[in-house]
Amino acid sequence: MRTVQAYRFALDLTPVQERAVLAHAGAARVAYNWALARVKAVMDQRAAERTYGIPDELLTPSLFWSLPALRRAWNQAKAEVAPWWGEVSKEAFNTGLDALARGLRNWADSRTGRRAGRSVGFPRFKSRRRSVPSVRFTTGTVCVEADRMHVVLPRLGRLKLHESARKLARRLEAGTARILSATVRRDGGWWHVSFTVEVERTERAPAQPGSVVGVDVGIRHLAVLSTGELVENPRHLTCAQQRLRRLGRALSRKTGPDRRTGQRASNRWQRAAARLGRAHARVANLRRDGLHRLTTRLAATYGTVVVEDLNVAGMLRNRRLARHIADAGFAEIRRQLAYKTSWNGGRLVVADRWYPSSKTCSGCGAVKTKLALSEREYECQACGLVIDRDRNASLNLAALAAATAGSGPAAGRGANQKTRPRGQMAVKRQPGTASATQTGTVPPQGGTADRVLTKAH
């Protein structure tokens, strides 16, 4: 199976190398801002000419937003805009122009309805102090040296790694991987290099190919499995909250930058900001590591994994639970399971957002009209079953896999209406089977607002 994946390694740069990388990142920002200013000027000019009644064929020629068009415009003006352009790699300017081309395309697709999801705003100019330094190399010499502790990048030369790149080097030596691009980026005070690699992966099979597991994510427990396993929520952000507050107060007492007066930040403010950034980066790294361990274990063990399509953006509107929901990383769990199940030869079933996993009885299939968030135990009025609500939801998710067929990512279909009254509930089912109609759909559930509160556990 051929796939594209990334390998990310930390770098140990010397002061000279760090200045060179910052120069490349600054060149990318200059090209981005210049091209954006050019696009805005042409758009504003054409809009003003239309107000004068000028016909469209006589308007100022429009500037195409594709990467080749922006690159041609930049090559014609770079001698005047950036006379130092020969000091850095051409890939630096290509990085900024490519970022602008994608941003403009996403904005146009969002306005015309070709892009799903939340609306995308018009690209904004990048600040030297606020933007994250980054540069990508797609051509030239990009390789990992034989000692696996150094990488070679165009114009930057030989860079030392903070960790061994043996995992990537083994694939390159075996001929099962090919580097497509390399991106150098600064995150949390550390410099990292990320390789986009085309990999030929061997066919794998889960340890239990015929097994099904339902995964119900929440706050009290990060995940409750249908097997009865409870995965504790480490709450990394909550544990680091006291330290983050202390570092934030220390930062507020320093002399920071002021754009209104042109005041520059003091050295102590910059050091305090770096300490705060490293603390936040540690929290993000701990969360990422825990989620990778969980999703890798699930994908490598079970043949079918069933999760829910949660409205995480809506759940974050709950001001009492927003921080805990963001700290858990619900969307990241589903994203990682999506590609890891395909890598391991498994199947991912995504329950519809309207599927009432928490309101449905896992024993008889009866559906409750309402289920308050404070009710931590599910009590069925039809069969008398009393079970933990999270375990009940995971059992319903596992039963949903029987109603879906095929391989690869699948979606358990739901409905766009509220839960039906108890007198109109679906036909009762046997324990351990999915409550689905003959067309393969699952019983509907309450409205979106009710869904937000019900699943914020």
Q: Which of 216, 327, 352, 450 is catalytic?
A: 216
* Residue 138 falls in which region: left (phi positive, over 0), alpha (psi -120 to 50) or beta: alpha
Distance CA 39, CA 122 (A): 11
Q: What is the H or E stretch that residue 310 is in?
A: none
Distance CA 333, CA 307 (A): 9
The answer to whether residue 216 is catalytic is: yes
- Compute and round to an integer the Cα radius of gyration of the chain: 27
Question: What sign does the CA torsion over 386, 389, 395, 400 have?
Answer: positive
| b/e sequence 42-61, b meaning 16+ C-beta within 10 Å | eeeebeeeeeeeeeeeeeee
Q: How far apart are the first and last CA of the chain?
A: 38
The answer to whether residue 109 is catalytic is: no
The answer to whether residue 327 is catalytic is: no
Q: Which of 98, 308, 327, 450 is catalytic?
A: 308
CA angle 363, 353, 296 (to 5 degrees): 80
Tokens for 372, please give them: 């308050």
Residues 6+ apart with CB under 8 A from 418: 444, 445, 446, 447
Residue type, 196: T
Q: Which of 91, 98, 352, 390 is catalytic?
A: 390
Residues 6+ apart with CB under 8 A from 69: 63
Residue type, 333: I
DSSP secondary structure string, 84-145?
TGGGS-HHHHHHHHHHHHHHHHHHHHHHHT-S-SS--PPP-PPPTTTSPPEEEE-SS--EE-
Residues 6+ apart with CB under 8 A from 171: 177, 197, 199
Distance CA 456, CA 311 (A): 10
User: Which residues are catalytic, by number?
Assistant: 216, 308, 390
